[in-house]
Each structure stands twice: as structure tokens, then as C-alpha cells.
Amino acid sequence: MTIQNDAQLRGLTRVCRIVASVLAAMQAHARAGMTTAELDAFGEQLLLAAGAAPAPRKVYGFPGATCISVNEEVAHGIPGERALAAGDVVNVDVSAELDGFYGDTGGSFVIPPTDALKERLLAVTRRARDDGIRAATANGLVSHVSKAIERVARRTGFRVIRNLTSHGVGEALHEEPSIYNYFDPRDTRRFHAGQVITVEPFLATKSNRVEEREDGWTLAVRRGSHAAQFEHTIMITRDTPLILTLPH
């Protein structure tokens, strides 16, 4: 999507703030012993109370309101009877539609107690997202975002998940462009002012690819590896990008 007027920006900002607030509330609400289905139900109540429709269900018929992935699960984890346990790395991805606009955000956290490796994984993934955002400017190369993300991973010893991407968003949940989280010098595409995208690096401790599980949804790395994701929806400008998925 390309923002063309103030009304579009207000509409998109509204839904983006909702998903940001729901993500923060779900992270604060999560605790050991809670099932992922219970955490998802909590998030769904908040989305519906705000007038927003859970996007994964609306767009793809996903069997949950949010995606909740644990440990070696990286994305599209189906909420269910799995109970969260101390030390689990949990990723929650919240996306929603309101008045024809889509917002998308996500973040990872650890059910206490944590350890140094997990905290470092979270900090590095968050830094990769933030460096990627700073690299996104009007008329700048799309690959500058990819390079910024991969640079952080390489310097810290973590691995970029190569078969998951950032993407356009706004009038649909997933739009062009697909944005690699690793640098490809052949990618000569450029951003333009007003363009709306997500920046969402996926980093892991031991793997660089995900495989789809038999449920047809969950994307996971091999057991023994941990993965993290942090995601913002942003609008490209000629200067610093506008981060839309911040709580009100």
C-alpha cells in the first residue's frame, strides 16, 4: 500500500495501534501453565473489543486469532493445548483488519526464568529489526534493509531464517514487495515515499531455514534451536520511517 492522504494514514495508524496494544497485553498476560489457546483467546477478546477482525482467520482461515510459536516454532504456530513452560521462548504475531486497513506486528519473549543465550537472541533480533527500519528510505534500495538485518546477525553469530521475509501491508495482510532478510546484490528494487511495509527479521541459534509441519501451518526449525522475531509496520518517508505499530 502507498499512503496517499491523511485519511488513509489515520485509518492505518488506528489498526496498527490496536495490534501493538494487543501484543503488549498478551506478552504481559502470558505465564507458565497457561495454554497457547488461552493466551490466544485473551488476545482475541481485546481485538474484538477494539472493533478489529483477527487477520489470519479473516484472510486465510487460520485456526486462531493470533499466531503463537514456541521454542523451535518460528511462525504461524497454531494456538492449542500446549502449556507454556518456564524458559520457553514465545513469539506472538498479531495482525488485524479495521475499516479496510491491515496492521501487523510481532515480538518474542521468554517465560521466566531466562538465560543469557535467549536474552541475547532477543536483543540481537530486536536490533536487526531496528537497523532494518533505519535503512528503509524513499528511493533507497530494498536490499539495504536486507543488508542491515543480515549484518547484525553475522556480527553476533546468529542465523537469518532465509525462507521467511518481511513484506508490504496495508490494504491486504501480505502485499508486495517481499523483502529478504538477507542481502542479495541482484535485488535492485527501490522504495518510494508513502509505501507501507513490515520489517520483521527472524533469527535462530542453529538453523537458517524453516520447514512446514504436518498441521499445514506451523513453520519450525530443527529441535534444539531457538528462534525469535520482532516486527513493526512502517511507512517509508524521505527521512526516518514512521513506525505505525506503537501502542497509543
Rounded Cα distance, 211 and 164, in Å: 10
CA angle at 99 for the pair 108 and 192, rounded to the nearest 5°: 70
In this predicted model, what pLDDT tens digit does every residue of 163-176 receive, in sequence order? 999 999 999 999 99
Third-level CATH fold of 6-243: Creatine Amidinohydrolase (3.90.230)
Per-residue pLDDT of the chain (248 residues; tens, 9 = 90+): 999 999 999 999 999 999 999 999 999 999 999 999 999 999 999 999 999 999 999 999 999 999 999 999 999 999 999 999 999 999 999 999 999 999 999 999 999 999 999 999 999 999 999 999 999 999 999 999 999 999 999 999 999 999 999 999 999 999 999 999 999 999 999 999 999 999 999 999 999 999 999 999 999 998 889 999 999 999 999 999 999 999 87
**Whether 146 contacts 177, CB under 8 Å:** no
Query: Is the overall model pTM greater than 0.95, yes or no?
Result: yes
Over residues 184-196, the pLDDT tens digits come to 999 999 999 999 9
N-to-C CA span, the chain: 22
Residue 120: other Cβ atoms inside 10 A: 15
Query: Residue ranges of the domains in the chain?
Result: 6-243
CB distance 3 to 9 below 8 Å: yes
Q: Is 39 exposed, middle or buried (0-12, 13-18, 19+ CB in 10 A)?
A: buried
Task: DSSP for 13-67, please give it.
Answer: HHHHHHHHHHHHHHHHH--TT-BHHHHHHHHHHHHHHTTPEEHHHHHH--SSSSE
Distance CA(51)–CA(222), nearest Å, equals 38
